[in-house]
Structure formats: C-alpha cells, structure tokens
Amino acid sequence: MGGHDRRRQNRRLPQSSYPARFELTAARTQPATQRARWEMLARKLPDENHLLRDICEGHLAARVVNIPGNLIADADGHVPHETIMAMNDDLAELVVRHPGRIYGPRFG
C-alpha cells in the first residue's frame, strides 16, 4: 500500500473550525481549570494554516470540517439565525478555497 493510500485511511473525524470574525464563547462557561485549554483552542480554531498543516505535511489526505454553533453560543445556548447563515457561508468558502483537501458536512 503506497503512502497516499495510508494517508487516505488516516482521515480524522470532523475537525471544528470557525472564522476569526466569530468569537469563541465556550470558554466562558467552562470551569476555571479548563479555561486555559479553551483559550488555546480559541487561538487555533480560526487558523487556516493550522487546519491545513497535517494535509500539507502529508499526514492526512483531507479534513472534514464543521462549525459547531455551541462554540459561539450566548450564555443561554442561542446563536442568531443570521450568524448561523454567515458561518455556513464562511465554511463553504473554506471548502472552495481548498478543493479535495477540505470538505464540509453534507446535509440532506
């Protein structure tokens, strides 16, 4: 089995991603002992280069990404409809920028 085939077998489960213009609010609801972890995630998740690193280095063939609304929800767990629509548009643009490397979730 060639290297390319092994990479295809090593696809990871969906990777959370979100554009930097959306504030990651999940850290606010976490216990103090978890806040540093969530703050680190808040720095990494919007980093497109970080998202692509394993693909560019040949460790993965592709990633499936999503943007979980609960990462940016308000204290009551709500995300405005307009924000969800904007997140979906941003995710679609990410997929278009990296065809064959980044995949979005399929609906329907």
Which pLDDT tens digit goes with each residue over 21-68? 777 777 777 888 988 888 888 788 888 898 899 999 999 999 998 888
Residues 6+ away with beta carbon under 8 Å from 59: 7, 10
pLDDT (mean) for 6-18? 49
pLDDT for the residue 59: 92
Q: How many CA atoms lie within 13 A of 34 on its CB side?
A: 7
Residues 6+ away with beta carbon under 8 Å from 8: 61
Which pLDDT tens digit goes with each residue over 77-108? 899 999 889 888 988 999 999 999 999 887 65
Extents of the domains making up the chain:
3-103
pTM of the model as a whole: 0.70
Q: Bigger pLDDT: 14 or 74?
A: 74
